[in-house]
Structure 1
Amino acid sequence: MQGKVVVVTGASGALGKVVVEAALARGAKVAGVDHAASLIPAMTNRIELGGVDLSDPAQAGVAIEAVAMQFGRLDVLINIAGGFAFEMVREGDAETWQRMFALNVLTALNASRAAIPHLAASTAGRIVNIGAMGALQAGAGMGAYAASKAGVHRLTEALAAECKGKITVNAVLPSTIDTPANRASMPQADFTNWVTPQELAEVILFLASDAASAVTGALLPVKGRV
Structure 2
Amino acid sequence: MLVTGGTGGLGGAVTAAFIEAGWRTVVPVRKKTSAESRSGAVGRGPGSNRDPKATPAEGDAVYVSADLTDPASVDAAVAVAAGEPAAPLRAVVNLVGGYAASGLVHETPIEDFERMLSLNLRPTYLVTHAALPHLLAAGGAVVCVSSRAAVAPFAGAAGYVTAKAAVVAFANAVAVEYRQRGVRCNTVLPSVIDTPANREAQPDADHSRWVAPADIAKVIHFLCGDESAPTTGATIPVYGRA
TM-superposed CA distance for 1:90, in Å, is 2.7
In structure 1, what is the equivalent of residue 148 of structure 2?
A: 133
Q: Work out whether residues 11 and 95 of structure 2, in 8 Å CA contact, stay in contact via their aligned partners in 1.
A: yes
TM-superposed CA distance for 1:177, in Å, is 0.5
C-alpha separation in 2, matches of 1:159 and 1:122: 16
Instruction: Structure 1: give runs of 5+ residues left out of the alignment.
Output: 1-5
Report the count of equivalent residues.
219
TM-superposed CA distance for 1:34, in Å, is 2.5
In structure 2, what is the equivalent of residue 91 of structure 1?
A: 107
TM-superposed CA distance for 1:95, in Å, is 1.6
Q: Deviations over 1:80-127 (max 9, x none)?
A: 11111122133222222111111111100000000001111114x110
User: 1:177-196, aligned counterparts within 5 Å?
Assistant: 177-196=193-212
From 174, 198, 214, the counterpart of 1:159: 174
Q: Work out whether residues 38 and 49 of structure 1, in 8 Å CA contact, stay in contact via their aligned partners in 2.
A: no
TM-superposed CA distance for 1:71, in Å, is 5.1
TM-superposed CA distance for 1:152, in Å, is 0.2
Percent sequence identity over matched residues? 35
From the CA coordinates, give the structure whose radius of gyration is larger: 2
C-alpha separation in 1, matches of 2:102 and 2:214: 29
TM-superposed CA distance for 1:202, in Å, is 0.5
In the alignment, structure 1 residue 8 sits paired with structure 2 residue 23? no
Q: Tell me, what secondary structure is at the counterpart of 1:145?
A: helix
In the alignment, structure 1 residue 23 sits paired with structure 2 residue 18? yes
- Deviates most, 150-159 or 131-140: 131-140
In the alignment, structure 1 residue 80 sits paired with structure 2 residue 95? yes
In structure 1, what is the equivalent of residue 53 of structure 2?
A: none
TM-score, normalised to structure 2, is 0.86
AA at the equivalent of 2:23: A
Compute the RMSD of aligned alpha carbons: 1.4
AA at the equivalent of 1:19: V
From 36, 52, 64, the counterpart of 2:78: 64
TM-superposed CA distance for 1:70, in Å, is 4.0
TM-superposed CA distance for 1:55, in Å, is 1.5
The runs of at least 4 aligned residues of structure 1 exceeding 6 Å deviation read none
C-alpha separation in 1, matches of 2:70 and 2:161: 22
Q: Work out whether residues 15 and 25 of structure 2, in 8 Å CA contact, stay in contact via their aligned partners in 1.
A: yes
In structure 2, what is the equivalent of residue 3 of structure 1?
A: none
In structure 2, what is the equivalent of residue 109 of structure 1?
A: 125
AA at the equivalent of 1:126: A
C-alpha separation in 2, matches of 1:175 and 1:18: 16
Q: Tell me, what secondary structure is at the counterpart of 1:214?
A: coil
